[in-house]
Homo-oligomer: A and B are copies of this chain.
Amino acid sequence: MNAASHLRIGELSRRAGVSPELLRAWERRYDLLRPTRSPGGLRLYSLEDLERVRLMSRHIASGLAAREAAALAARASLGPEGDEAIAGTGGAPGAALDAGAARARLGRAIDHFDEPAAQAVIDELLAVATVDALLSEVVVPFLHEVGERWERGELSVAQEHFASNLLRGRLLGLARGWGRGNGPRALLACPPGERHDLGLIAFGLALRARGWRIDFLGSDTPVESIVGAARTLRPALLVVSAASAELLAPMAVELAELAREHEVAVAGAGARDFDPGDSEVLLLTRDPVMEAEGLGGRARESGLGDGLA
């Protein structure tokens, strides 16, 4: 296990989303952390401390008083927790999310292959928005815009690839650790021929924020592989996402079969035209966040955002 790793208070603050003043207050009042000190007297924190602060934030976000949250967080130093959540307590409270402006800036950055600018937009969004808001108000609409602009010929394939890879990197960054914990398992995959996995990743993040545990196979996965993985992992939920129903149709039989043992759902634009026949396959046609919410509040409380990279 990694122990040493020494973070100063500023870095801990950034990673946990809690202001340095508050961290010191929690230490003084509740003895939440006992950082070691540098020769000069600076506090040095470990990664376990980071987990503890995040846990405390989550307890507060779920309604506990700070003192109680601290007591719980201090006790659970080696519990099976390890979830990542972050309350927007730190930093500037103001700064509302202007999703439209953000999408516009993102679009301009893509037009010019300006990777740094695009990353900066996402950085700013992550600072003020929850993952849910980022997904449903920026990522998903933005993907739609890209698709429409591509159909109209306003966007080259190169630009679309550029944007996809950039977003994929960020979303997979947020996904780190989404296979952890012991919530219900969800197995996510795209059918053969489908290469648009961003919506599926978004869906996985939305599920993760609600306590699910994610197994992600991604784009273009052969049917027998999906079936095999489902047999191995026995997930509570299987989600297959495609942009077109034509890609889903060939595996309708297998899906119906799987639906007898797991909950099975199809998502993506292709779900709108998919014919489930008389099987138990769910159609998820709405926003990933809404659908994730609709799939049941398996999670104890609303998981919040996610830490920085």
Residue A158 contacts which of B156, B179, B228, B309 (CB distance < 8 angstroms)? B228
A158 close to B229 (CB less than 8 A): yes
CB A5 to nearest CB in B, in angstroms, measures: 7
Q: Residue A119 at the B interface, CB < 8 A?
A: yes
Q: Residue A96 at the B interface, CB < 8 A?
A: no
A162 close to B14 (CB less than 8 A): no
A116 and B177 in contact (CB under 8 A), knowing A7-B68, A64-B7, A220-B195? Answer: yes
Q: Residue A15 at the B interface, CB < 8 A?
A: yes
Residues in B with CB closer than 8 Å to A72 are: 5
Number of copies of chain A assembled together: 2
B229 close to A156 (CB less than 8 A): yes
Q: Which of A106-120 contact B (CB under 8 A)?
A: 113-116, 119-120
Q: Residue A101 at the B interface, CB < 8 A?
A: no
Residues in B with CB closer than 8 Å to A7 are: 63-64, 68
CB A166 to nearest CB in B, in angstroms, measures: 8
Q: A180's closest neighbor in chain B, by CB?
A: B116
Q: A14's closest neighbor in chain B, by CB?
A: B63
B6 close to A71 (CB less than 8 A): yes
A162 close to B216 (CB less than 8 A): yes
A177 and B115 in contact (CB under 8 A), knowing A161-B225, A309-B123? Answer: yes
Bitwise, A124-168 to B at CB < 8 A (1) or not (0) is: 100100000000000000000000000000001110011011001
Q: Pick the most buried of A5, A156, A158, A233: most chain B CB atoms within 10 A of its CB.
A: A158
Bitwise, A189-229 to B at CB < 8 A (1) or not (0) is: 10000010000000000000000001111111110111011
Q: Residue A8 at the B interface, CB < 8 A?
A: yes
Residues in B with CB closer than 8 Å to A92 are: 4
Q: How far is the CA of A214 from the CA of B156 in the complex (A)?
A: 18
CB A81 to nearest CB in B, in angstroms, measures: 13
Residues in B with CB closer than 8 Å to A62 are: 309
Residues in B with CB closer than 8 Å to A246 are: none
Bitwise, A47-91 to B at CB < 8 A (1) or not (0) is: 000000000000000111101100110000000000000000010
Instruction: Using CB atoms and an 8 Å cutoff, list the residues of chain A in contact with chain B.
Output: 2, 4-8, 11, 14-15, 38, 44, 62-65, 67-68, 71-72, 90, 92, 113-116, 119-120, 123-124, 127, 156-158, 161-162, 164-165, 168-170, 172-173, 175-180, 189, 195, 214-222, 224-226, 228-229, 232-233, 308-309
